[in-house]
Amino acid sequence: MDVKVTLLPQDQLKPLYDDPLKLKFGQNFTDYMFTVIHDAGKGWHSAEIKPYQALQLDPAASVFHYGQEIFEGQKAYKSAKGDILLFRPEENAKRFNRSMKRMSMPEFPVEDFIAIEEKLLKLEERWIPQQKGAALYLRPTGIAIEPALGVRPANQYMFFIILSPVGPYYSTGFNPVSLYVCTDFSRAGEGGTGAAKAGGNYGGSLAGTCTALNKGYNQVLWLDAKEHRYVEEVGAMNIFFVMDNKLVTPPLGGTILPGITRQSLLELASGLGIEPVERRLTIEEVIESIQSGKVTEVFGAGTAAVVSPVGKICYNEKDYVINNNVTGPWAQKFFDTLTGIQYGELEDKHNWVHVVK
């Protein structure tokens, strides 16, 4: 794909951050962005890398009315050798396309997705933090831009990528977070869009997130929409339980985001000496197992959240503390192994690391 590149004079580049570990998640953006347009009958065209700028969209653009919007979240890391590393970018490109398809939006070629990210990252290399714990977050996004109020798939789309240097997602850093089990709202129902990374899923989840935050918890823990019994996932990460020395996580059934970090932890588990199990578990089982000591650790996993230990779960207005609210050995082991691979410190036995050339 041909990409037109418009560069800024050196003296118009933004000043860099001081300490990337102190950056608030997603509040700082780099100098450039990528955009490409899709028209029905014409396909993708007018690919551009240009200075970071506001989008000019018609107020009738269908994204504003019917929510055809999907996104991805990835990180670029800097290895000690100075290489730029991406973690399993093909998986993000493929999930981007699955989300696009679910929202009746056009797919984008996987090879071009990765080639464009490489081009952007080379141009923006100075923004990729050297410090472990910080990274350059990539936000590929698809939106419907045709000005049309009829309820039908749009005839024009934009795919853009913006980049944001980030530190830890939670203000707690790698210390345990607290979760509030939402028992009134649901995140996703069967046959809905829960498995797509669609903005609407997040918009709909904010009421539950607000309840959790207002009550002093870091995130919401979602249950299934039908019975409000089965544990699904957290607001911005998948969830894992260490039970009887097994690594248990809810199965993907269309209502949970198929996290790439989740899949990676499941693939790493056996090699680290713990059996991975995907099965449904009720919130009652979780609470009883915390109380009996059968659950020894709980942690979340996601690109932004990495591996985040969970120290406390509130269910029906009662708190249940896990592992004395301190990081447990399995959370630590998965965190160290995953980040070791992502930053190029550990051998990449699974061939997950993509070196940007």
Chain contacts with ligand PLP (rule: CB under 6 A):
73, 233, 236-238, 257, 259-262, 302-303
Residue with tokens 């269309």: 254
Least distance to ligand PLP from the beta carbon of 236, Å?
A: 4
Taking phi over 0 as left and psi of -120 to 50 as alpha, with beta for the rest, 36 belongs to beta
Residue from 67, 106, 176, 302 that binds ligand COI (CB under 6 A)? 302
Q: Which residue, 106 or 140, has its beta carbon nearer to ligand PLP?
A: 140
How many residues bind ligand COI (CB under 6 A)? The answer is: 5
Please give the Cα distance from 172 to 178 (Å, whole number): 10
Q: Which residue, 72 or 285, has its beta carbon nearer to ligand COI?
A: 72
Q: Which amino acid, one-letter code, is at 19?
A: D
Angle (nearest 5°) at CA 204 between 200 and 210: 135
Q: Which residue, 231 or 237, has its beta carbon nearer to ligand COI?
A: 237
* Interface with ligand COI, residue 342, by CB under 6 A: no
* Residues of span 71-100 touching ligand COI by CB under 6 A: 73
* Interface with ligand COI, residue 304, by CB under 6 A: yes
Q: Which amino acid, one-letter code, is at 117?
A: E
Q: Which residue, 147 or 258, has its beta carbon nearer to ligand PLP?
A: 258
Q: Which residue, 99 or 303, has its beta carbon nearer to ligand PLP?
A: 303
Question: What's the Cα-to-Cα distance from 235 to each of 118, 249, 277, rounded to whole Å?
Answer: 29, 15, 22
Please give the Cα distance from 40 to 182 (Å, whole number): 41
Please give the Cα distance from 8 to 149 (Å, whole number): 37
The total of other beta-carbon atoms located within 10 Å of residue 297's CB is 23
* Residues of span 218-257 touching ligand COI by CB under 6 A: 236
* Interface with ligand COI, residue 258, by CB under 6 A: no
Q: Which residue, 47 or 163, has its beta carbon nearer to ligand COI?
A: 163
Least distance to ligand COI from the beta carbon of 46, Å?
A: 27
Helix, strand or coil for residue 210?
A: helix
Least distance to ligand PLP from the beta carbon of 286, Å?
A: 18
Label residue 165 exposed, middle or buried (CB < 10 Å: 0-12, 13-18, 19+): buried
Q: Do the Cβ atoms of 204 and 267 come closer than 8 Å?
A: no
Least distance to ligand COI from the beta carbon of 13, Å?
A: 26
Residues that bind ligand COI (CB under 6 A): 73, 236, 302-304
